[in-house]
Amino acid sequence: MKTVTLPEAAAVDQRVDLIGFCKELSEQIAVPANDALRAELATGTRVEGMYFDALRTEMSTETVEAEGFLKAWEKGTMTREQFVRSIKISTTEARGVLDEKTYKRLTTRHRPTPALRVTRKKGVTVEMGEALAALGRELAKKAAA
């Protein structure tokens, strides 16, 4: 295991490593297994392991063509209120056509969802044995509690 020296001011929190180890398990084991299984199965196929089930599905997104939607409103297919409730405005496009004062007046900033991004440190190799040992210690603590 490579030793990394942290600046004096940095606090060491073992939870960061636990999160990182779980992410490593996912990236090194679960993601490749998922990719391989997904490639083998047809949509709608259900498979099961001893402890888990899996269903091969497909996710899709839909978008409504803006020009056609506008034409539908112009033809009276919907009320103005329905039209306005249905649309979302691209902030990139809005910034391109509105002056800054108008843009700020019309924009609502939503509180961000707290996030924690955990990444492997540069130059550090995570051995699965180390990851499993750390996770095992954490599980043992939880079992003892």
45 found inside a domain: yes
Residues 93 and 75 in one domain: yes
Please compute the mean of the pLDDT values over residues 39-49 and round it to a whole number.
89
Residues 50 and 86 in one domain: no
132 found inside a domain: no
2 found inside a domain: no
Tens digits of residue pLDDT in 101-117? 999 999 998 887 777 77
Residues 48 and 21 in one domain: yes
Please compute the mean of the pLDDT values over residues 128-145 and round it to a whole number.
86
Chain-centroid distance, C-alpha 78: 35
133 found inside a domain: no
Residues 72 and 51 in one domain: no
Residues 80 and 96 in one domain: yes
Chain-centroid distance, C-alpha 108: 23
Residues 56 and 87 in one domain: no
Q: With contact defined as beta carbons under 8 Å apart, do 43 and 57 qualify?
A: yes
Residues 21 and 51 in one domain: yes
Name the residue range of residue 30's domain: 15-60
Q: What pLDDT sits at residue 71? A: 96
17: how many CB neighbours lie within 10 A of its CB?
19
Residues 24 and 56 in one domain: yes
Three-class SS string for the chain? CCCCCCCCCCCCCHHHHHHHHHHHHHHHHHHHHHHHHHHHCCCCCEEECCCCEEECCCCCCCCCCHHHHHHHHHCCCCCHHHHHHHCCCCHHHHHHHCCHHHHHHHCCCCCCCCCCCCCCCCCCCCCHHHHHHHHHHHHHHHHHC
Residues 74 and 54 in one domain: no
Provide the number of structural domains found in the chain: 2
Lowest mean pLDDT among 69-73, 81-85, 114-118: 114-118
117 found inside a domain: no
Cα 72-73-74 angle, rounded to 5 deg? 90
Residues 94 and 70 in one domain: yes
127 found inside a domain: no
Give the position of tokens 């990236």: 27
Residues 21 and 55 in one domain: yes
Tens digits of residue pLDDT in 26-39? 888 888 998 999 89
100 found inside a domain: yes
CA gap 135, 138 in Å, rounded: 5
